[in-house]
Structure 1
């Protein structure tokens, strides 16, 4: 909080005075105003904390979304969990638990489980309707599927998993959404086996906690290294374009990227040739087939 001008320092002093008097509403107004002016995790957290104490839970939640993961610690971790729970964001709240110091994770897990139990007791019909909407996600456009997935963040974990395990196998779930479902399970460090329909139209038995994330698959990292080595100094714009396309490919290839990309050098050659309309490298029929299939999926979202 050192890089503030005189007016901002004045606002901070006012906020501290209001906090001392437990005037949470006015303290929150000050810290929230200051957080929009100053990029400082301490101020962002003070805004979130005082908004929470003022029972302005949605505002507290939006404030804490801007709080950097690297700044979560023993002193603020449990309050951050409570803010997520105040707006019934149980799934992302559970993902935050895995970023907390180990010493407070058990307490945080208990907070979430108790909150889920209370929510289920009070709002059984709401959960039923939320789950039904989530479960039928495959009936919708990609934009609506993504919206329903976002709304499912407010389901307790057991109910979320009922929908998730069905949708991972549903051929009508968009491949991008299936990938995001797996990403959520990876962040939850889900250690039980699930079955996922992948881009090869086969079902694969996987343990999400044991799978690398989309961008961390060995084959994807090798492709990225090749692109950077070839184009960082010679063609930065092409580097950017190829990297973005590789990111999309990585999402669609999860969790079988290493099986599909057998020769990273050739994969990058085909990627570049398709993008620039150049002649294809020899003996690359398999790479061409896969990348054209991937491009057809990508084109449907553009």
Structure 2
């Protein structure tokens, strides 16, 4: 990094010459995407009233803002200015933010109340579109889910609770919404229609990330130890497929991946190397076929093709 260029940018920042600072830090950041430059650039953009750009830059490295309360608060301020209420709540629930969470959540509640008054018409449109995801194609559904993060928690939950049991919503999107809820650390349980078409009651506060379960971790470890040194390309391909499968199976992957090593062998296209029971072998093939159909439908939807029956 050019030290003199950084010092000039920093001087503009300290003198609150925000337009000059944002331009200077933009140049620096384009060459070096460091955590420090991210913080300075996003903050400069924010004070220069380039709020969306500030959010986009900060979101590239959220964890850079967990180093102390000042930067945690700055990241929260940028999010709230962009009405990113769901992210803001998830931000406050991160383990690293525990000491600052109470004050942060109080700010989120205040900002949500203000938005209900000043942005009510906009939020009604966002909510209506969010509650009717099934009316559109997959790309539009994903856009609406992203935009729904601008809803206050109460309105967001109202839509999510309906969508989690919507049989016409692709299960990958249902899993995406469920994972969003898990990061909100809410006490209230929700109902979920899972891949077996049964309705389950799920306590989202007890859920972890998609790949955090024992079966997922065992599968990933086996994949790495077996193939990382000899076939890294295969590892990348299998990992991509496995990640999608884990999303589809969320939050019950452990019920399905009862033989994680055999699961990886199947995805890698080689004979199963570990001993499994006939029942496990049958379950593996049944679920691979079922998941393959869901992924086939997903890719067809992405490409605007009609799925095969």
TM over 0.5: yes
Match of 2:146 among 127, 145, 150: 150
Matched with 1:75 is 70
* d(CA) in 2 for partners of 1:75, 1:64: 14
Q: Quick check: 1:166 aligned with 2:162?
A: yes
Matched with 1:231 is 227
Q: Quick check: 1:22 aligned with 2:19?
A: no
Secondary structure (helix, strand or coil) at the match of 1:75 reads helix
Match of 1:301 among 285, 289, 298: 298
Matched with 2:287 is 290
Compute the RMSD of aligned alpha carbons.
Answer: 2.0
Matched with 2:127 is 131
Offset, 1:257:
0.9
CA contact (8 A) 1:32 1:44 kept: no
Change (3 A) 1:165 1:234: same
Q: Kindly report which structure 2 residues correspond to 1:22-171, keeping only aligned pairs within 5 A, or say none.
A: 22-72=16-66, 73-99=68-94, 100-171=96-167
Secondary structure (helix, strand or coil) at the match of 2:200 reads strand
Matched with 1:200 is 196
* d(CA) in 2 for partners of 1:21, 1:285: 68
Q: Kindly report which structure 2 residues correspond to 1:211-250, keeping only aligned pairs within 5 A, or say none.
A: 211-250=207-246
Deviations 1:237-274 (A, max 9, x none): 3333222221111110001111122233443344344x
Q: Quick check: 1:13 aligned with 2:7?
A: yes
Secondary structure (helix, strand or coil) at the match of 1:289 reads helix
Match of 2:252 among 250, 256, 268: 256
TM-score of the pair, normalised by structure 1: 0.89
Change (3 A) 1:255 1:51: same
TM-score of the pair, normalised by structure 2: 0.87
* d(CA) in 1 for partners of 2:235, 2:26: 39
Change (3 A) 1:237 1:25: closer
Segments of 5+ residues of structure 2 without an aligned counterpart are: 300-309
* d(CA) in 1 for partners of 2:158, 2:7: 49
* d(CA) in 2 for partners of 1:206, 1:175: 15
Offset, 1:229:
3.1
* d(CA) in 1 for partners of 2:232, 2:31: 33
How many pairs were matched up? 291
CA contact (8 A) 2:39 2:64 kept: no
